[in-house]
Chains A and B, each alone.
Chain A
């Protein structure tokens, strides 16, 4: 203990550390409350919540003038925890008997100067026995319930107290020093707080010693070394003898060390050691926190974004094409309605004989579509909600595409987010936040898609007239010829007949005079109409390309508009959370380096476990599972 003087606990340490811890605890709590990402790590979340509370308590404790050291007696039933406390208190304050389990409620043994408010909140409900011994002024000793009896409630009580403990005094007996339940608890806590060991009932350990087997204290020490305690502090005691207060040194077995335990408790745990233990406890807490935070920190995703975006673009282009194919197929089966619209538009450009023929054609089409509609041949989907007047071409397309979306496309659209999540996951993006973002999107986006498509459909002006290029000239020419040629030919025929009648002195009936030019007019119109239709058909096919192009464009654009922000939004959330967690880790690191700086803890090092030797790491990992 010569090194104590070298440690100078400067007041600036606590002054600097306490606010840091408080800030960290506050930031941690805020993050836990606001974070959406932590929901994916429920197991870690509970522990983080607990650590946040522990940090605040540690900060409060460090800010006290004279910090209190909480020593918890932990061990199986009947090993003599209560007896040990009685021996330490030199009075029968704790019940100890043959009944197992003996202690059912924790018993707190502390100095009279300690007010109820100074106690940890978890201890305030317990029975408190106060003393006036100055050497134990800053130390609170708690006799905890057992950890291995049939009473499971006792184990929970112990586990509720443990997080508050600064030092755990692990009490074992010859029978129980190696029991699994205690050992597992020790292993799970060994990197979290200080441990000292008591091997009670020492008389039984040396009793009946034979040539085979190790002595319990050697056995215990060996295993503790393997699990990271390089110089474990083990006290061999016969507490029952000391509690009896009828001790004569002759009746004690050799190597009994109750006095050493008392000495350690009374004099070797001075202010400096207490501060060092507290600081080391804070460091362990911070290390655990930083480990947990690292495990729940969202991964960096920035470098994946380009790849995902490319994959998504490809995906929705393919999807848009497939959907357009489906839509066009649907429209194909209802081409006659569209054709009728186109023909009506075409008729407005026709004059004379062509107009007459076109009117006949329209009548024919109407008849045909009426009959087919009437007989239900157009398919299963009856046009129940068809627009009453099918005058407006876009309205018709609207209606058709809405029907198609409702009936056919919804299933395909619903499958797209799944595909996008899979693509992102394949690129290495965390799947669950992404899936959740798509879930939050709901179903409304499907309506947005059909609205976008409707808008594009409105832009389609079905026009039969070709607007530019040589085709437009030839169409104009044909139209001109079509308008005037039948008249001209009919007139020519009429004049020829009149000429024949009068000049050539032929006789001709009045009927012939009307019928023949009329026939010429009709035949000529029919021929020209046929030629016109051959080169400039008024059919669904002529707008099909336009519709297909626009539908694909509308779908692609709306996919991009809807889905692109999701990637950005999710990434932004992840980055924000990542940065927050990174900040917390940095704060942890800063606090650790601050706490580590002045105290080298040489004198309390024996109480803390280092890393376990590689041979046992495997076994202890298995045990943790």
Chain B
């Protein structure tokens, strides 16, 4: 049961998505065929699949009579029933909502009133066929309890060719979604018109059983028109179209039009064709559903292309955002990082050198180095580099403003291309810019915090790692002291003791110290370089990544059409997979006997 509910929801969602895409496809200027394909697939998912999933398919076959305006749909309906039940008149596009003819028994059934959910509501009572609303009427012909209506329900549908039809063609499509058999009425004038034939083509693809009624020709042209039709229209459709029955109904005299019972042979012919098709219903439905499934599946692939088109503007937007981002980061690198010396590292350097002293001997060593240090400072060698520090805000704030300016500039240039750019322009000149600036300030303070922490951590690690490792530290200290003391002792030992040798302790240890400082400085500079790279990474993770994400996601969150398209695009592959694995046999109605 749970599975059924979720399948129902899935089909409802699929239908909504497809209908929305059908409207977008029209706005994109795609062919009428594509738009209709999507609408029809939506109707099939909404009605045929959903009903099958919840096992509420009507137990008798649905026959829909469709055709261009004035081609004689109502006349064919009357001929099927054998009584003048439908209003026939020469006004093109008179019928505005579907009317179903059923037997008295069926009209009592409750399913008969809930066939199309909210899309097309059951209308109790009798209204003229030109009543323009999303309803369907159920009529029970008084004295026509023939065999046909025991087995099928007959839908007289509105046309699809008049200019008013744009307002009501959706009602027709809803019926077609659920229909099992379609009676396609084509007149001698209309049989090769583009719009009705698009319907015909898609219905064949969708697996509906078709009967073609050719109307209005002179009786002597009937056979010629039939063969012309097979050759010109049906042959062009598909291989399956060959088997479509084709009934010629020549121009009828007004008295026959008013009283169809005068032409019983036509009624009989129609009955036999329709009943053959409708019997047995389970196998008809099974075949139909398999084809419907592949039709909807193909429509979902088309839908994917529509979504891709719909979202194509997003890739342009992403490019613009990415260009802004790289400019933002490049500015930070050039204006700030290339200049930054990290004065904190000088401290680390001093600590490192201090660490390498043997603790008890540091005072002695300091005295020994004093003359050399004085000389150095006099010569200016000891002066440290000027600590020039430009706060990163000086760079980052204008860089971010330039990023937004780039977006706004592009939006101004492209605003004729897509509504997204107009929206971007409006928002970037108003509330959104303020909100982005707030976000930026928040992220900036976070960045400043993390940045100083990172520098601090790196600078600290320079001496702390050594301090934590007593073995290495002490061996380095020992090594240094051994060299200092050893070289002094060596000199003294080789040259013998005299007064001038007192100078050696003032010369050799400072030189060793100088060497140590030089090596330390190389090491610290390497760490500085590391700190620069780390800063750039931090900028990317803390500032540019979240900002890019906000900017990139903005259209999908804020622009309704893109939001919907993106959501649909995410759902489509899944929907297609689910549809393809949907068990048809389980969905076939268990009791399908009329």
How far apart sit A435 and B390, CA to CA, in the bound complex (Å)? 33
Chain B CB within 10 Å — which of A205, A325, A329, A336 has the most?
A: A329
Contact of A623 with B335 at beta-carbon distance under 8 Å, contacts A149-B192, A212-B94 already known? no
- In the assembly, what is the distance between CA of A379 and CA of B398, in Å? 23
Residue contact A178 to B164, C-beta cutoff 8 Å: yes
Closest to B162 in A: A178
Residue among B162, B189, B195 making CB contact with A78, cutoff 8 Å: B189
Residues in chain B near residue A412, CB distance under 8 A: 331, 398, 402
Do B89 and A180 have beta carbons less than 8 Å apart? no
Which residues of B are found within 8 Å of A426, using beta-carbon distances? 429
Q: How far is the CA of A590 from the CA of B167 in the complex (A)?
A: 43
| In contact, A174 and B413 (Cβ under 8 angstroms) | no
Q: Which of B16-24, B137-145, B404-412 contacts A (4 or more CB under 8 A)?
A: B404-412
Establish whether residues A216 and B334, one from each chain, have CB atoms under 8 Å apart when the complex forms: no
B90 adjacent to A212 (CB under 8 Å): no
Interface residues of A in 55-88 (CB under 8 A from B): 76-79
Q: Does A359 contact B (CB under 8 A)?
A: no
Chain B residues with CB below 8 A from A379, complex form: 338-339, 341
Give a binary string over A369-384; 1 marks a CB under 8 Å from any B CB, 0 the rest: 0011001111111000
Q: For residue A187, which residue of chain B has the nearest CB?
A: B163
Contact with B along A176-220 (1 / 0, CB 8 A): 111111011000000000000000000011111110111110010
B339: chain A residues at CB < 8 Å are 329-330, 333, 379-380
Contacts of A183 in B (CB 8 A): 162-163
Question: In the complex, which residues of chain A have a beta carbon less than 8 angstroms from the beta carbon of B405?
Answer: 415, 418-419, 422
Nearest Cβ on chain A to B352's Cβ, whole angstroms: 16
Cβ-based interface call for A9 (8 A): no
Number of A-B contacts (CB under 8 A): 207
* Per-position binary interface string of chain A over residues 470-503, scored 1 when its CB falls under 8 Å from any chain B CB and 0 otherwise: 0000000000000000000000000000000000
Interface residues of B in 529-574 (CB under 8 A from A): 532
- Is B192 in contact with A150, judged by CB distance below 8 angstroms? yes
The reply to whether B195 and A148 contact each other, CB–CB distance below 8 Å, is yes
Known A-B contacts A176-B69, A208-B254, A364-B379; the reply to A411 vs B334 at CB < 8 A is yes
Chain B residues, Cβ within 8 Å of A411: 327, 330-331, 334-335, 402
Chain B: interface size category: 35 or more
CB contact under 8 A between A219 and B91, given known A176-B70, A180-B166, A368-B381: yes
Q: Does A173 contact B (CB under 8 A)?
A: yes
With beta carbons under 8 angstroms apart, the residue of B70, B90, B224 that contacts A98 is: B224
- Which residues of chain A are within 8 angstroms of B103 by Cβ–Cβ distance? none
The reply to whether A100 and B191 form a contact with Cβ atoms under 8 Å apart is: yes
Minimal Cβ-Cβ distance residue in A for B386? A335
Judge whether A610 is part of the interface by a CB distance below 8 angstroms. no
Secondary structure of the A contact surface, majority rule: helix
Taking a contact as CB atoms under 8 Å apart, the answer to whether B91 and A213 are in contact is: yes
In chain B, residues 376-413, which have Cβ atoms closer than 8 Å to a Cβ of chain A? Answer: 378-381, 383, 385-386, 388, 390, 394, 398, 402, 405-406, 408-409, 412-413
Query: Does A425 have its Cβ within 8 Å of any Cβ on chain B?
Result: yes
Inter-chain contact B162/A332, CB cutoff 8 Å: no
Q: Chain A 314-344, CB within 8 Å of chain B: the 1/0 string?
A: 0000000010011001101101100000000
Q: B402 and A177: CB pair below 8 A? A: no
A623 to B381 Cα, complex, angstroms: 85
CB–CB B69/A175 < 8 A = yes
Tell yes or no: B591 within 8 A of A by CB.
no
Residue of B whose beta carbon sits closest to that of A214 = B91
- CB <8 Å contact, B90 and A332: no
- B189 & A176 in contact (Cβ 8 Å cutoff): yes
Q: A365-B380, A415-B406 are in contact. Are A79 and B129 (CB under 8 A)?
A: no
CB distance from B218 to the nearest CB of A (A): 9
Supposing A149-B194, A215-B90, A333-B339 touch, asked if A208 and B386 sit within 8 A by C-beta, the answer is: no
Smallest CB–CB gap between B473 and chain A, Å? Answer: 25
- Pairwise interchain contact B92-A174, C-beta atoms closer than 8 A: yes
Cα distance, A412 to B328, chains bound together (Å):
10
User: What is the chain B residue whose CB lies nearest that of A418?
Assistant: B409
A460: chain B residues within 8 A (beta carbon) = none
Q: Considering the chains assembled together, what is the distance between the CA atoms of A364 and B382 in angstroms?
A: 10
Q: Check if B409 sits within 8 Å of A213, measured CB to CB.
A: no
> Which of B90, B166, B337, B380 sits near A367, CB closer than 8 Å?
B380
- Give the chain A neighbours of B88 by CB distance below 8 A: 208, 210
Asked whether any CB of chain A lies closer than 8 Å to the CB of B128, the reply is yes
B348 interface residue per 8 A CB criterion: no
A180 touches B87 (CB 8 A): no
Q: Is B187 an interface residue (CB 8 A)?
A: yes
In the complex, chain A residues 335-356 whose Cβ is within 8 Å of any chain B Cβ: 335-336
> Quick one: closest B residue to A381, CB to CB?
B338
Q: Does A304 contact B (CB under 8 A)?
A: no
Separation of A412 and B335 alpha carbons in the complex (Å): 10
B394 CB contacts on chain A under 8 angstroms: 325
Is B193 interfacial (CB-CB < 8 Å)?
yes
Q: Check if B380 sits within 8 Å of A364, measured CB to CB.
A: yes
Q: Which residues of B contact A207 (CB under 8 A)?
A: 90, 254, 257
Interface residues of A in 19-61 (CB under 8 A from B): 40
Interface flags for A590-617 (1: CB within 8 Å of B; 0: not) read 0000000000000000000000000000
Nearest A-chain residue to B521, judged by Cβ:
A375
Q: Kindly identify which residue among A76, A329, A336 contacts B193, using a CB–CB cutoff of 8 Å.
A: A76
Give A177 to B195 CA distance when docked, in angstroms.
15
* A219 pairs with B89, CB closer than 8 A: no
Q: Does A407 contact B (CB under 8 A)?
A: yes
| In contact, B409 and A421 (Cβ under 8 angstroms) | yes
Q: Is B93 an interface residue, CB under 8 A from the partner? A: yes
| B497 CB-CB contact with A under 8 Å | no
Give min CB distance, B229 to chain A, whole Å: 10
Q: Known: A180-B163, A180-B165, A411-B330. Contact between A380 and B379, CB under 8 A?
A: no
Is the Cβ of A367 less than 8 Å from the Cβ of B381? Answer: yes
Question: A367: which B residues are within 8 A, CB to CB?
Answer: 379-381
Q: Kindly state the separation between the CA atoms of A412 and B394 in the bound complex, as whole angstroms.
A: 13
What chain B residues lie within 8 Å of A415 (beta carbons)?
327, 402, 405-406
- Determine the chain B residues whose CB is within 8 A of the CB of A216 once the complex forms: 90-92
B161 and A180 contacting across the interface, CB-CB below 8 Å = yes
Query: Of all chain A residues, which has the CB nearest B217?
Result: A98
- A-facing mask of B170-204, CB < 8 A → 1, else 0? 00000000000000000111111111010000000
- Nearest chain B CB to A446's CB is how many angstroms away? 15
With both chains docked as a complex, state the minimum distance between the C-beta of A152 and any C-beta of chain B, in angstroms: 8
Separation in Å of the B76 CB from the closest CB of chain A?
14
Minimum CB–CB distance from A79 to chain B (whole Å) comes to 7
| Given A332-B386, A364-B379, A422-B409, A408 contacting B335 (CB threshold 8 A) | yes
Beta-carbon contacts of A129-171 to B below 8 Å, as 1s and 0s? 0000000000000000000111010000000000000000000
Q: How far is the CB of A147 from chain B (nearest CB, A)?
A: 9
Residues of B with C-beta under 8 A to A115 = none
Question: Which residues on the B side are within 8 Å of A322 (C-beta)?
Answer: 398
A101 to chain B, nearest CB (A): 6
Does chain A have a CB within 8 A of B39? no
B195–A181 touching, CB < 8 Å: yes
Contact B402 A418 (CB under 8 A): yes
Cα–Cα distance between A574 and B395 once the two chains are bound (Å): 37
Query: Lowest 6 CB-CB distances: which A-B pairs, in order?
Result: A175-B70, A364-B380, A78-B189, A213-B89, A213-B91, A431-B412
Q: Could you give 22 example pairs across A and B, Cβ below 8 Å?
A: A98-B224, A98-B228, A149-B194, A173-B70, A175-B92, A176-B161, A183-B162, A207-B254, A207-B257, A208-B258, A209-B90, A210-B258, A212-B130, A213-B89, A213-B91, A332-B388, A367-B379, A376-B525, A407-B334, A408-B335, A432-B413, A435-B412
Query: Apart from A98-B221, A213-B87, A326-B335, what 17 extra A-B contacts exist at CB < 8 Å?
Result: A100-B192, A149-B192, A149-B193, A173-B189, A179-B163, A208-B89, A210-B87, A212-B89, A333-B388, A364-B380, A379-B339, A407-B334, A408-B335, A412-B398, A415-B402, A422-B409, A431-B415
